[in-house]
A = this chain, B = another copy of it.
Amino acid sequence: MSMMHRTFKAAVIAPAMGLVMFTLAHAQMADPLPSWNAGDTKQAILDFVATATDDNDPKFVPLSARIVVFDNDGTLWTEHPMYTQLAFALDRLKALAPDHPEWKTTEPFKSALDGNMKTLAQSGEKGIAQLIMATHAGMSTEAFETIVADWFKTAKHPRFDRPYTELAYQPMLELLDYMRANDFKTYIVSGGGIEFMRVITEEVYGIPSEQVVGSAIKTKFEIVDGKPQLTRLPELAFDDDKGGKPVGIISAIGKQPVAAFGNSDGDREMLEWTAAGTAATLMMLVHHDDATREYAYGPGGGLPDTHFGTFSQSLLDEANADDWTVISMKNDWAEIFPPATR
């Protein structure tokens, strides 16, 4: 063997071999879901991805059908003591209150401004809707985006004292990355307001605005001072909850998902529809059973009457009967939130 050949081999072949070996070793050793404790729940995810991506498996999912949907509140980030969007609405209400003296004597505004959450809760969905319309409409989509972005820069969660954008669940962030690494297209499908979420979904979840499905108020195109503008109107256009979730998915995506993740009764129909698929499917529900590190509510939890993320016994029964996987935050998750970054 000539000197030149050895040089060639050293320069080209050996590093190439090394790369191959490193890649194999890396694939075998690296855990794509390090914040998930070993067990049936984690294994269900790994098994689903293995089956869905194996083109020799009869349950193989072709690339164009790799649609995965995630509820947001309570599934991807914390929803207690109240939905993040409601916290925004209450702060916004206070900011606007000086221009609305009538709110001091009119419900649900009075309770909201007084911080009387019990009376506010009693005003029900209608009351919440009134708060949303008063704080989310009457401006352009651009102006609304700016208001929301500014709020996220300073608002903090009352218990964890961290920006809401840091309260996404670390195991779910890993799951989103893992799905995308296997060519699944990840969507948020939430009862929350679509334009509210879109301000932070790219930064927090790596999900672009076009992969967010949510509830929406009506929007009107108009020319204002010679400039085109989309103006937000105080009227509901679409309620992306319960049976609305499959409808929102078919409207925005046009395909049945192969995996669906939720945490409450509002996600039931989305999981039922996903479960009806004929290729590999995965249906999972996050169960909030960790009062120490986050909150405990739902079946067996400490807050059975919560208005935020109701997980009824009948949903649990359906999950058990249909082999959906219930994620125990307490047992399945080694970490809840990412390390603090600011």
Q: Check B273–A221 contact: CB distance below 8 A.
A: yes
Interfacial chain B residues near A275, Cβ < 8 Å: 228
Interfacial chain B residues near A237, Cβ < 8 Å: 251
Q: Check A246–B228 contact: CB distance below 8 A.
A: yes
Partner of A210, one of B227, B244, B254: B254
Give A237 to B269 CA distance when docked, in angstroms.
20
Q: Mark A214-228, 1 if CB is under 8 A from B, else 0.
A: 001001111100011
Contact of A273 with B228 at beta-carbon distance under 8 Å, contacts A209-B255, A255-B210 already known: yes
Q: Write the residues of chain A forming the contact surface with B, with a CB cutoff of 8 angstroms.
A: 2, 4-5, 8, 12, 64, 67, 141, 185, 194-195, 198, 202, 208-210, 212, 216, 219-223, 227-228, 230, 237, 243-247, 250-255, 269, 272-273, 275-276
30 A–B contacts from the bound complex (CB under 8 Å): A4-B4, A4-B5, A5-B8, A64-B208, A141-B250, A194-B251, A194-B254, A198-B254, A209-B253, A209-B254, A209-B255, A210-B255, A216-B251, A219-B247, A219-B251, A220-B243, A221-B243, A221-B244, A221-B245, A221-B246, A221-B269, A221-B273, A222-B243, A228-B269, A228-B272, A228-B273, A228-B275, A230-B246, A237-B251, A252-B252
